[in-house]
Amino acid sequence: MKLQLERNTLLPLLQQLVSIVERKQTDALLANIRLEATAEQAVYLTSSDMEVELVAKLNGVVEKPGITTLPARKWLDICRNLPDQSTLEIFLEGNRAQLRCGRGRFALATLEADEFPEVELSSEVETVVLPQDELRGVIERSHFSMASQDVRYALNGLLIELTGRGIRAVATDGHRLALAEGVGEIEVTQPRQVIVPRKGVHELLRILGTDSTPLQLQLDSNHIRVEVGDVRITSKLIDGLYPDYYHVLPEKNEKHLTLAREALRQAVSRVAILSNEKSRGVRFQLRPHLLSIGSHNYEQEEAEEELEVDYSGEEVEIGFNANYLLDALGAMETEHVVISLNDSKSSGLFRPEGDERTRYVIMPMQI
């Protein structure tokens, strides 16, 4: 194998590929990136951790086709430190890859590519076409509510629903829930509901852009695959049943208020400084025309902020986790937020003003 690659084209792809590679590997091969150079002057780079696979295609000058694997992080570090606009030459000598750039030379140990894992989708694949900003949007507005290392394994991923009406993403850790829906209709043979694991979700966000370029989303019984430009990601799905999240959405909250989202976010951020470090609880005390936000901790320290609000109903006092509030408020883009409450023991519903497609449910807590 012998080929030449442009450093400025290779570097961003290596950075994406290395994000898949775990630092501690039981299989040394998974610490490598698979490199395949073809006679058609195409070069394919693949990284995998057995759960998520990332494949990137780039053009190069291929003098001699071949296939091998190179140490992922060492290759990235070398490429990162090469001069801008330089060309990297790669060729094999025995079980070593020689990398040359100008007067620099690097010899890297290689491993045979024969055993490198490759993901093949089954013959029964559902293919859906949708704008990439739609997919990115629903993931961005919901993924932060996923659980982490929960014994209820399904909660450690993001639920993605595909129906003729569009796409929906749902995440919950049992204490909060985020639901985000797309705006456009899509063509599906039948409604689908899949659970994408945490790592697959984060890698999707890395490659998805913010424009409306159509992309293909493929699903089989065990995988989700998305291709954006010259990068393709395939992730295993979580095998399990997701909770019936519709039962969590509050329907009887009758106390509604609208206020400036950024003012609320800043107030919660400041008050949370003196909240209990473990519970991170803040108190909402709502009365006509005024919302008081307070906190205290074991050192008897206290904080309180008051915001004028458009509200004329009954008084209510309720506690929330400050981090959950800040996550939800930070994911919104509207100027105002609408809050719906019932009593101190019922979940609060938060949504961007004028946006019925995005909802955040936060369970109350004792302050």
The DSSP symbol for 289 reads T
Residue 117 lies in a domain: no
Q: What's residue 164's pLDDT?
A: 84
Give the whole-angstrom CA distance, residue 309 versus residue 288.
Answer: 8
Q: Are residues 240 and 261 in the same domain?
A: no
Q: Are residues 213 and 312 in the same domain?
A: no
Q: Where are the alpha helices (DSSP H) in 4-126?
A: 7-18, 72-80
Residue 279 lies in a domain: yes
Q: Are residues 78 and 149 in the same domain?
A: no
Give the whole-angstrom CA distance, residue 58 versus residue 77.
Answer: 19
Q: Are residues 358 and 257 in the same domain?
A: yes
Q: Contact, 357 vs 178, CB < 8 A? A: no
In this structure, what CATH number is given to the domain that contains residue 281?
Answer: 3.10.150.10
Q: What's residue 26's pLDDT?
A: 76
Residue 120 lies in a domain: no
Residue 187 lies in a domain: yes
- Residue 76 belongs to domain spanning: 2-109
Q: Are residues 315 and 336 in the same domain?
A: yes
Residue 121 lies in a domain: no
Q: At which residue do the structure tokens 């694997």 appear? A: 69
| DSSP β-ladder status, 166-172 and 157-163 | antiparallel
Chunk the chain into consecutive blocks of 10 residues (it has 367) and report each block's average pLDDT, rounded to whole numbers.
96 95 84 96 96 96 96 97 96 94 95 92 88 95 95 96 92 97 85 94 94 91 92 95 92 92 98 94 95 94 95 93 98 96 95 95 93
In a 10 Å sphere around its CB, with 0-12 CB exposed, 13-18 middle and 19+ buried, how is residue 173 labelled? middle
Q: What's residue 145's pLDDT?
A: 97
